[in-house]
């Protein structure tokens, strides 16, 4: 339980199927956490109403009086306008497009509300309380179905005037390569996101390279996922190791660009396949060692994220404390 009288924030990390909410102290201590199903609708922003409902419940669960709630932070899976409090576009929660999240949630909870993009929140969480807590400048990559990220300079996560700073998934690493969801070709996300990884593994199997994945992925490889590839690489599977090495190479190339652009103290890799360990980190570090000539970047400063899938929730809570500090 929080020491008597201290203020807390509630962080909410919204997702298309579930969301979680947590009560967090200014030191990053998690007092209570709960996961919920995300209610869906074609045109009503039910997820925002559910998030607002969760705030009261989680405060009660933490046994903290409502007058100690400093504010609510909400991580949104898509681009937002944080000043206006508006969700610009949420591909996995499209009924939120254009919704004023701050108005809806503060209307229901009576608390100040701040919103942020989920990758922004994850970066902020790692900067404040995770792998980056001892540095002021970092670049974060979140590896999943897509590739997100964020850049922190002077202890602040920056987004730029058009909110695109840190969109590392759209750094071009292979001109003319696979088509990306953004319409471009050869973006990092196209090469090392879910589809890029799976496509490469399937192509190698079709070329006759033997693999444990043949049996594990179903007759038409329809069950194949990046996690399965990283597990097979752990088991010593040559094909899976090849796929991870290729992903590591492309990530390394993108990191080299980030190093000269942002001059980070630390590079943090989070999300599903970042848990793969050396099979991914070795090729990344090798690429950076060989290609980041002027920086002399110490490749041991490329590290895994520490907050796992709680990063979004922690980061949402951190939005509240940061806003308080800025006033």
Residues near Zn ion (CB under 5 A) are 170, 180, 182, 184, 187
Tell me how far, at minimum, the Cβ of 62 lies from Zn ion, in Å.
Answer: 40
Sheet with 156-158, strands from edge to edge, namely 156-158, 147-153, 138-143, 266-270, 302-304
Tell me how far, at minimum, the Cβ of 121 lies from Zn ion, in Å.
Answer: 21
Assign 3-state DSSP to the chain and report helix, strand, coil percentages, each to 5.
45, 20, 35
The residue among 164 and 182 lying less far from Zn ion, judged by its C-beta, is 182
Tell me how far, at minimum, the Cβ of 312 lies from Zn ion, in Å.
Answer: 22
Q: Hey, is 234 helix, strand or coil? A: helix
The residue among 182 and 261 lying less far from Zn ion, judged by its C-beta, is 182
**Do 24 and 30 contact (CB within 8 A), yes or no?**
yes
Tell me how far, at minimum, the Cβ of 180 lies from Zn ion, in Å.
Answer: 3
**33-50: buried (b, 16+ CB within 10 Å) or exposed (e) per residue?**
beebebeeeeeebebbbb
The residue among 187 and 302 lying less far from Zn ion, judged by its C-beta, is 187
User: What does the DSSP 8-state code read for residue 263?
Assistant: -
The residue among 71 and 79 lying less far from Zn ion, judged by its C-beta, is 79
Indicate the helix (H) or strand (E) that contains 8: strand 8-14
Tell me how far, at minimum, the Cβ of 188 lies from Zn ion, in Å.
Answer: 8
Cβ-in-10-Å burial (0-12, 13-18, 19+) of 218 comes to: exposed
Task: Sort strands 113-117 and 69-76 into parallel, antiparallel or unpaired.
Answer: parallel
Tell me how far, at minimum, the Cβ of 249 lies from Zn ion, in Å.
Answer: 18
Give the HSE-up count for residue 218: Cα atoms under 13 Å, Cβ half-sphere.
8
- Count CB neighbours of 17 within 10 A: 9
Tell me how far, at minimum, the Cβ of 168 lies from Zn ion, in Å.
Answer: 10
The residue among 113 and 187 lying less far from Zn ion, judged by its C-beta, is 187
The residue among 102 and 173 lying less far from Zn ion, judged by its C-beta, is 173
The residue among 63 and 182 lying less far from Zn ion, judged by its C-beta, is 182
């Amino acid at each position: 339980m929080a020491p008597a009288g201290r203020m807390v924030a509630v962080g909410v990390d919204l997702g298309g199927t579930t969301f979680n909410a947590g009560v967090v102290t200014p030191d990053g201590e998690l007092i209570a956490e709960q996961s919920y199903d995300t209610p869906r609708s074609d045109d009503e922003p039910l997820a925002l109403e559910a998030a607002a409902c969760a705030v009261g419940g989680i405060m009660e669960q933490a046994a903290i009086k409502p007058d100690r709630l400093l504010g609510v932070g909400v991580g949104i899976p898509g681009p937002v306008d944080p000043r206006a409090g508006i969700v610009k576009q949420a591909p996995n929660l499209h009924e939120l497009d254009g919704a004023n999240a701050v108005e809806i949630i503060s209307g229901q909870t009576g608390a100040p509300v701040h919103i942020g993009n989920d990758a922004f929140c994850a970066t902020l969480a790692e900067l404040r309380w995770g792998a980056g807590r001892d540095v002021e400048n970092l670049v974060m990559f979140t590896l999943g179905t897509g590739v997100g990220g964020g850049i922190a300079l002077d202890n602040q996560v920056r987004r730029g005037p058009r909110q695109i700073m840190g969109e590392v998934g759209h750094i071009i690493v292979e001109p003319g390569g696979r088509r990306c969801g953004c319409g471009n070709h050869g973006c990092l996300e196209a090469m090392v996101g879910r589809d890029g990884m799976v496509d490469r593994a399937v192509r190698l199997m079709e070329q006759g390279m033997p693999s444990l994945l043949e049996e594990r992925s179903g007759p038409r490889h329809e069950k194949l996922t990046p996690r399965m590839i990283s597990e097979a690489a752990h088991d010593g599977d040559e094909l899976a190791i090849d796929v991870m090495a290729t992903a590591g190479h492309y990530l390394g190339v993108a990191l080299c660009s980030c190093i000269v652009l942002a001059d980070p103290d630390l590079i943090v890799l989070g999300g599903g396949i970042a848990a793969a360990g050396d099979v991914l980190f070795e090729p990344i570090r090798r690429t950076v060692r060989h290609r980041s000539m002027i920086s002399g970047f110490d490749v041991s400063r490329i590290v895994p994220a520490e907050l796992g899938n709680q990063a979004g929730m922690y980061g949402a809570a951190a939005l509240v404390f940061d806003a308080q500090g800025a006033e």
